[in-house]
């Protein structure tokens, strides 16, 4: 099987005017998390390659036409652009995820959108605004299947809670990667030791009578792993109502038997790697 090249971008730069939540958080900070989650997961598939055509540091707003040109020049198989939405820029009760293709999309573009759509809805857990069509530059001028994901509204009082949850965004990125990989019939590089993303970021709210032991039995995870996943809760903040991570995305992305993969795929390390890599600017 020849390699499949995924071209991605995380929307606008940090400095791009507008593109902020009413509290001043830049859209890029949300987009970047789902893009990192996507990339980290997709890197685990055989024959999959990824190039980010935006600036990984978020400092430079690479013109959209430059992104498209680079994608075409590289001969990408598919283009996925990660964004988050805004309505009027003031807090409101609107919200939801949506997915865009260009108007009159090719069959292959539509098929890609349909593969991603259910996972997007499920992973964000927000209102389903469906698959829509509009001729935005990055998805209009592509000679490859191209979709643009809007993962919830930055100015929605409901959606913002999901957007501020980095683990949730990274998990969404990983699950989108799984859906895309499946769509292109890719298989994971590693064997069954690799944990499935389906269990990523499951949480448990502590109720009266819970013990670490009973929770570990219930979810079939070791007490040690619970401790690793919840350094801020265990042992000092274990109380009724506290949220425990059963799985966490950064930890789930590793092969648990390989200590090197912990180092290379930990949350902080991914971020640093990204900043150091100027190759794709
Ligand atoms: Zn955007």
Residue 194 placed within a domain: no
CA angle 258, 50, 196 (to 5 degrees): 40
Distance CA 156, CA 93 (A): 6
pLDDT digit string, tens, across residues 238-272 = 788 888 888 765 444 444 333 333 333 333 223 22
Domain that holds residue 226: 202-246
Phi/psi of residue 128, each to 5°? -90, 110
Q: Do 141 and 41 reside in the same domain of the chain?
A: yes
Residues 217 and 86 in one domain: no
pLDDT > 90? residue 54? yes
Same domain, 207 and 169: no
**Cα of 85 to ligand 1 centre, how many Å?**
6
Three-class secondary structure of residue 272 per DSSP: helix
Same domain? 100 vs 164: yes
Domain assignment of residue 30, yes or no: yes
Residue 32, pLDDT above cutoff 90: yes
Tell me, what CATH number does 140's domain have?
3.40.630.40
Residue 253 within a domain: no
Q: How far is the CA of 254 from the centre of ligand 1 (A)?
A: 30
Verify that 182 and 224 share a domain, yes or no. no
Residue indicated by tokens 């299947």: 145
CA 8 – CA 71 distance, rounded (Å): 9
Are 162 and 240 contained in the same domain?
A: no
Report the C-alpha gap between 28 and 24 in whole angstroms: 11
| pTM to 2 decimal places | 0.70
Per the structure block, which two tokens stand in for 250? Answer: 């950064």
CA of 235 to the centre of ligand 1 (A): 40
Please check whether residue 90 lies inside any domain of the structure: yes
Domain-ending residue, one of 120, 154, 189? 189
By the 10 Å C-beta count (0-12 exposed, 13-18 middle, 19+ buried), 27 is classed as: buried
Place of tokens 């992305």: 253
Please tell me the distance between residue 14's alpha carbon and the centre of ligand 1 in angstroms. Answer: 11
Look at the chain and report how many structural domains it folds into. Answer: 2
Distance from the CA of 126 to the center of ligand 1, in angstroms? 18
Domain for residue 258, yes or no? no
What's the chain's average pLDDT?
Answer: 84
In this structure, what token pair is assigned to residue 146? Answer: 């191209």
């Amino acid at each position: 099987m020849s390699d499949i090249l995924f071209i991605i971008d995380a929307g606008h730069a940090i400095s791009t005017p507008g593109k902020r939540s009413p509290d001043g958080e830049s859209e890029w900070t949300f987009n970047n998390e789902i893009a990192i989650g996507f990339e980290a997961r997709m890197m685990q598939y055989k024959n999959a390659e990824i190039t980010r055509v935006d600036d990984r540091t978020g400092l430079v707003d690479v013109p959209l036409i430059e992104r498209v040109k680079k994608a075409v020049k590289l001969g990408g198989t598919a283009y996925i652009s990660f964004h988050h939405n805004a309505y009027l820029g003031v807090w409101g009760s609107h919200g939801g995820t949506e997915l865009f293709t260009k108007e009159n999309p090719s069959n292959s573009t539509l098929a890609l959108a349909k593969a991603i759509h259910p996972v997007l809805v499920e992973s964000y857990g927000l209102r389903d605004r469906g698959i829509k069509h509009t001729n935005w530059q990055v998805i209009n001028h592509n000679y490859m299947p191209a979709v643009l994901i809007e993962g919830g509204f930055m100015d929605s009082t409901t959606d913002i809670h999901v957007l501020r949850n980095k683990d949730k965004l990274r998990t969404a990125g990983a699950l989108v990667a799984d859906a895309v990989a499946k769509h292109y019939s890719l298989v994971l590089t590693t064997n069954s030791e690799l944990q499935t993303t389906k269990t990523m970021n499951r949480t448990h709210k502590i109720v009266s009578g819970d013990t670490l032991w009973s929770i570990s039995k219930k979810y079939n995870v070791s007490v040690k792993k619970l401790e690793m996943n919840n350094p801020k809760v265990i042992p000092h903040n274990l109380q009724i109502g506290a949220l425990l991570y059963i799985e966490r995305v950064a930890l789930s992305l590793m092969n648990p038997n390989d200590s090197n993969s912990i180092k290379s795929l930990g949350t902080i390390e991914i971020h640093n790697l990204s900043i150091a890599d100027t190759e794709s600017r």
